[in-house]
Amino acid sequence: MGLKNKKVKAFTLSELLVVLVIVGILILIALPQLMPLITRARSVEAKQALKHLHTLQRTHFFEYSRYSNNIQQIGFEQEPLVTSQEGGNANYIVEIINASPQTFQARATAVVDFDGDGQFNVWEIDEKGQLIEVVPD
């Protein structure tokens, strides 16, 4: 019977709300400084996709002595985009923009504006494997 009257120590609702407001303010202060890090982390996806496409193009070149301008012909599969109906995970669309027997150039263009500044990140790679950020975000 003595246990029913014993109160448990706890925080009040107003104390919890004050803590949540403080945490929210701290997040709003830190977020603008974290956006470049988030953008750089997402650009790794473009770099990896372009490096993979470069490997596929090199394999095609060794087999047929020329680069291909058909992305499906070399075996590259575009992951579903985050903007697609399927609700994919890819933030970049990859395409071959130029191909000749001796050279090629491919591009990965972001479909999401990561930092909300109106610019979409663009990366390119060539037959030498040189990655270039054409449009920074």
Tell me the DSSP string of 1-42: -TTTTPPPP---HHHHHHHHHHHHHHHHHHHHHHHHHHHHHH
Measured in residues, the chain has a length of 137
pTM over 0.75: no
Locate 98 and state its tokens. Answer: 């130029």
pLDDT digits (tens, 9 = 90+) for 50-97: 999 999 999 999 999 999 999 999 999 999 999 888 788 899 999 999
pLDDT-derived band at 28 (thresholds 50, 70, 90) equals confident
| Residue 71 tokens, joined | 């992305």
pLDDT of residue 1: 52
Q: Confidence class of residue 2 from pLDDT cuts 50, 70 and 90?
A: low
